[in-house]
């Protein structure tokens, strides 16, 4: 066992439901191992500014069920510079912090890994992002909740689309990955799904929509991931509206946006976050560093941080085929 005295904990990048549950698990596991905990507010920005708060078991009471993050989050340009990281190291040293747990997505974990390589402060990452795009874990903290939020909204849109026989383009989050889009398309019975992992062929999109709306005379839902390569739901709508053969189609765009980031975490996210938060502290005590804890086939697994952000986690192309078969 490695002797740890003071642990710094922070959340960074886009917040995700379940970050608070993870934070709680980290703090309580640390406290039960007689480790002091310092909360670092506003991610790397707060680390550079020395925006620190002492935490104990009680400071994380009644947060398990809350969305957002009580430590706040931020994206920091200063931390991308060597000077910014040097200042962060100076602040951590002054606060006598001897190890870190970082909760966030690819940018956060990439920053943590670069920081470790430069300054050798032990760090373990917990995957926290609604995008589910991190290698080394089946699910990221927040993904299940965001997916269910998107799905609930698609169900509601389905009702009104059907009532008016409309075509809806529903844009969901996912700048570089289509996990939310693909899974809520299957769960919501969407007629078509467009994701960043595949090229959008506008001719076949138009043919499909014509077949649905004219030949089958159905209301239709197209789920579009925000990072889809044609330019997202609004751009696709513009293209269809400029095409006279779509003039009779009643088309609406609905961008779900940040509704997917908020809200109480699902049961699945709360359990995942609690298990990963505990595993992060125990991994540090076992001497691991520069790794991310993840969950693969319901077991905690450790992945070198570098692999987390340099390797691509692929969507399941069989699910893409399934969505086409069922549409």
Q: Does 155 participate in catalysis according to the annotation?
A: no
Specify the residue, 273 or 281, whose C-beta has the smaller distance to ligand F6P: 273
Task: Tell how far CA 151 is from the center of its chain.
Answer: 16
Q: Exactly one of 15, 51, 98, 131 is catalytic; which is it? A: 131
Report if residue 175 touches ligand F6P, rule: CB under 6 A: yes
Q: How many CB atoms lie within 10 A of CB 302?
A: 15
Cβ(106)–Cβ(309) below 8 Å: yes
Among 18, 43, 67, 105, binds ligand F6P (CB under 6 A): 105
Cβ(221)–Cβ(253) below 8 Å: no
Report if residue 261 touches ligand F6P, rule: CB under 6 A: yes
* Strand, helix or coil for residue 158: helix
Report if residue 131 touches ligand F6P, rule: CB under 6 A: yes
- Burial code (b: 16+ CB inside 10 Å, e: under 16) for 116-141 equals beeeebbbbbbbbbbbbbbbbbbbbb
Among 17, 67, 122, 174, binds ligand F6P (CB under 6 A): 174
Report if residue 130 touches ligand F6P, rule: CB under 6 A: yes
Report if residue 226 touches ligand F6P, rule: CB under 6 A: yes
Specify the residue, 131 or 144, whose C-beta has the smaller distance to ligand F6P: 131
Beta-strand relationship, 123-127 and 36-40: unpaired
Report if residue 171 touches ligand F6P, rule: CB under 6 A: no
Q: Select the span of 87-95, 129-137, 184-192, 313-321 touching ligand F6P (CB under 6 A).
A: 129-137
d(CA 324, CA 319): 9
Residues within the interface to ligand F6P (CB under 6 A): 14, 105, 129-131, 173-175, 226, 261
Active site residues: 131
């Amino acid at each position: 066992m490695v002797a740890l005295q003071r642990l710094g904990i922070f959340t960074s990048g886009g917040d995700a439901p379940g970050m608070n549950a993870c934070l709680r698990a980290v703090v309580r596991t640390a406290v039960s191992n007689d480790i002091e905990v310092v909360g670092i507010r506003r991610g790397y920005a707060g680390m550079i500014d020395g925006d620190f708060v002492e935490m104990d078991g009680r400071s994380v009471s009644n947060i398990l069920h809350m969305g957002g993050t009580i430590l706040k989050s931020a994206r920091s340009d200063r931390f991308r510079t060597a000077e910014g990281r040097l200042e962060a190291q100076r602040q951590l040293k002054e606060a006598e912090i001897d190890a870190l747990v970082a909760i966030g997505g690819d940018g956060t974990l990439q920053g943590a890994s670069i920081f470790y390589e430069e300054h050798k402060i032990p760090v373990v990452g917990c995957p926290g992002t609604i995008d589910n795009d991190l290698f080394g874990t089946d699910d990221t903290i927040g993904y299940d909740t965001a997916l269910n939020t998107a799905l609930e909204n698609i169900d509601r849109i389905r009702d009104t689309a059907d009532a008016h026989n409309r075509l809806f383009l529903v844009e969901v989050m996912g700048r570089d990955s289509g996990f939310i889009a693909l899974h809520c398309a299957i769960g919501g019975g969407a007629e078509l799904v467009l994701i960043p992992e595949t090229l959008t062929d506008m001719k076949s999109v138009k043919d499909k929509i014509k077949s649905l709306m004219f030949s089958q005379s159905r209301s239709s839902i197209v789920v579009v991931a925000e990072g889809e390569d044609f330019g997202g739901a609004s751009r696709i709508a513009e293209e269809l509206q400029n095409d006279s053969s779509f003039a009779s189609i009643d088309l609406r765009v609905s961008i779900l946006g940040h509704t997917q980031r908020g809200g109480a975490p699902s049961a699945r996210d709360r359990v995942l976050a609690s298990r990963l938060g505990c595993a992060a502290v125990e991994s540090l005590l076992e001497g691991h560093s520069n790794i991310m804890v993840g969950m693969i086939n319901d077991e905690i697994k450790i992945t070198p941080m570098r692999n987390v952000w340099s390797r691509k986690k692929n969507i399941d192309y069989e699910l893409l085929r399934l969505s086409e078969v069922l549409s």
